[in-house]
Amino acid sequence: MKATSVLISGASIAGPTLAYWLNARGFQVTIVEQAPSPREGGQAVDIRGTAREVVDRMGIAGEVRAAHTGAKGMLLVDRAGRERFRMGADLLGDSGGFIADIEILRGNLVKILHSATRESVEYMFDDSITALREEPDSVLVSFRREAPRRFDLVVGADGVHSNVRWLAFGEESTFVRDLGACVAVFRVPAVSNLGGWHRMYCVPGRGGARGRTAGVYPLLGRDEAIGMLFFPVPPGDSDRRNVVQQKNLVTQAFAGDGWEVPRLLEAMSDAPDFFFDRTCQVHMDGWSRGRVVLVGDAAYCGSPLGGNGSSMAMVGGYVLAGELAASGPDHGVAFARYEALMRNFVTQCQKFALSGVDFHLPKSRVRLWAISQMMRMLPYLPWRGAVVKGLQNTANAVALQDYPV
């Protein structure tokens, strides 16, 4: 019997995870990625709850832990760099708080996943899908560079601005909910006084307007760190592909701020890995249409304000592959089962992510003070156990099935 052919768009986290499990179950897998090679750089991502079991089952847990950034936790500082409070990675159990106890640079995780799949999966780098035409027994796919090809199934694992979603489901604005914040991420020269702590400096807003946050994430043993800047979406339209305009928006938003902000803005001016986007979530009534299905941020982005994005991507890839194998030729049944198993997990992760908006963009000094006090007292509060349980329930809201290999 001919193996089912699957085209996956996107070689970040969800795509290669899905490819690994599909290949293990006898599918013929191709990944198309518009970048010329596996993407490097990016911010630190966390692996929480059920996603750790996926990593274990893939046999890459050792590599992932060895690539840990070394971050001890998160520390909030004032304008002069004085500590307001700190939250260790182990404070709220193995699901972590703002910092999980397994943190890895996105680029390093991508590299590990690529290494685990490159010998058995066909990769098409420096290319992208331009058209999809579904036929009774396949999908005819046109590419920017390669000749058209037919696949039994097509998967969009190409992020929040998914090209596959746009081609198969329609306009991005239908599914993407803006959270009112912009984020900029880039490498900066090492900051000597971090001590392994992710330091954050929040500037409260005034008159009901939201504030902003600057952060420096440590990379132990390296001569660089990661700068992160969060601020409210400015009025007017902006082009998410115009880097000069984006850097000007960041500079204007943080002009005159204290702590390490001037140094961050200076480093941003010529940072080669500068990333900028508006924070958002993706909400869809269904993640499949015909022979096309979405996984990861393309289907259910939670936003970088709350974490769990990589965990949803890896768990989603595992579940989708398992259901496709278990359902035989009936991909419709597989897609429905995949969504039924994942929906509650996704809903809880997205709800948790919304809490990050208030923390990163506090509306007043009083609000910032209240958040600081709550965080400072959390280890001693009687309901700390309930907080830990809530985080654990979110990170483990889906149980992995034992699909046959």
Q: Per residue in 17-66, pLDDT tens?
A: 999 999 999 999 999 999 999 988 778 888 888 899 999 999 999 999 99
Instruction: Give the chain's residues under pLDDT 70.
Output: 1, 90-101, 192-193, 236-240, 307, 378-393, 395
Rounded Cα–Cα distance for residues 195 and 238 (Å): 37
Tokens for 374?
């709550």
Q: What is the reported pLDDT for 96?
A: 46
> Looking at 246, 278, 310, which one is the last position of a domain?
278
The answer to whether position 298 is within a domain reads yes
Same domain, 226 and 90: no
Name the domain count of the chain: 2
In a domain, 401, yes or no: no
The domain boundary residue, chosen from 256, 278, 300: 278
Residues 16 and 145 in one domain: yes
Tokens at 97, concatenated: 């708080």
Same domain? 263 vs 215: yes
* 384-395 and 331-360 helices, crossing angle to 10°: 150
CATH number of the domain that 13 lies in? 3.50.50.60
Same domain membership, residue 195 and residue 162? no
Q: DSSP letter at 95?
A: G
pLDDT on residue 15: 98
219/236 same-domain check:
yes
How many C-beta atoms surround the C-beta of residue 81 within 10 A? 12
Asked whether residue 22 falls in the same domain as residue 94, the answer is yes
Same domain, 251 and 265: yes
DSSP 191-206: -TT-TTEEEEEEE--S
Residues 21 and 90 in one domain: yes
Domain that includes residue 212, residue range = 178-278
Residue 326 domain-assigned (yes or no): yes
Q: Are 273 and 287 part of one and the same domain?
A: no
Instruction: Please check whether residue 203 lies inside any domain of the structure.
Output: yes
Q: Render pLDDT for 70-88 as a digit per residue (tens, 0 to 9).
A: 788 888 899 998 888 887 7
Q: Is residue 367 part of a domain?
A: no
Closest CA relative to residue 87, chosen from 101, 77, 73: 73
Bridge partners of 227, per DSSP, are 186, 216
Residue 361 lies in a domain: no
CATH number for the domain harbouring residue 226 = 3.30.9.30
The token duo for 36 is 């010329």
Closest CA to 209 of 357, 353, 362, 354: 362
Do 20 and 140 lie in a common domain? yes
Considering the domain boundaries, does residue 294 fall inside one?
yes
* In a shared domain, residues 166 and 189: no
**36 part of a folded domain:** yes
Nearest CA-CA partner of 399 in 354, 326, 340, 331: 340
Residues 128 and 10 in one domain: yes
The answer to whether 309 and 159 have CB atoms below 8 angstroms apart is no
Q: Per-residue b/e over 278-308, b at no fewer than 16 CB within 10 Å? A: bbbbbebeebbeebbbbbbbbbbbbbbbbbb
Domain closes at, from 252, 278, 304: 278
